[in-house]
Chains A and B, each alone.
Chain A
């Protein structure tokens, strides 16, 4: 059965304290892995797409990496405005399957 698991469920960081979020997956026929950011009361917003093991993408303080079994979202020197829920999703043949997300809180 296709499955996406994110950890930790919640993460509290001090401003400037770097960390990583994990997304592990077991799917048949991975066609892409996506990271989204979701703010309270809003729909998810696209961050990155990764297609193959070894691929990396960066955007400001965020860097996403992909292996054959998991993806990491690295957050370098986070700021309070990075506080949000980060969702990982994997694309199979015809479906986009989401993990439960990691709630990130960055405190000044």
Chain B
């Protein structure tokens, strides 16, 4: 099993550019989420989805869009990159029940210059 796969692993963007971070899971999990991790601040929830066609905002959604057209995929779009979005991004998935463990991808390290 591949688990949760994130691409790319590293990315450098110029301010104002847009891009999509990809996340795919092969465990048929209903619940998927995106976090960003910054030094000293832990993981902060950006957006989440409880199933295909359903998304909602987390703690820090501004500047990011998501969609969930299939159970497997949950891409994160940066509309107009800003230096404040320099971070490590993690995608996670879990079964439908919320009080179950989350499985994380390996992360995408994004630098906006």
Contact = CB atoms under 8 A, between A and B. Distances in A.
Contact of B48 (A6, A31, A34, A95): A95
Contact of B101 (A4, A9, A49, A95): A49
A100 B40 contact: yes
Interface residues of B, number: 26
B40 A91 contact: no
Contacts of B113: none
Contacts, number: 60
Interface string B31-43: 0010100001111
Interface of B: 4, 33, 35, 40-45, 48, 50, 56, 58-59, 90, 92, 98-107
Given A46-B102, A94-B56, 6 more contacts: A6-B42, A34-B101, A42-B107, A43-B107, A94-B98, A100-B42
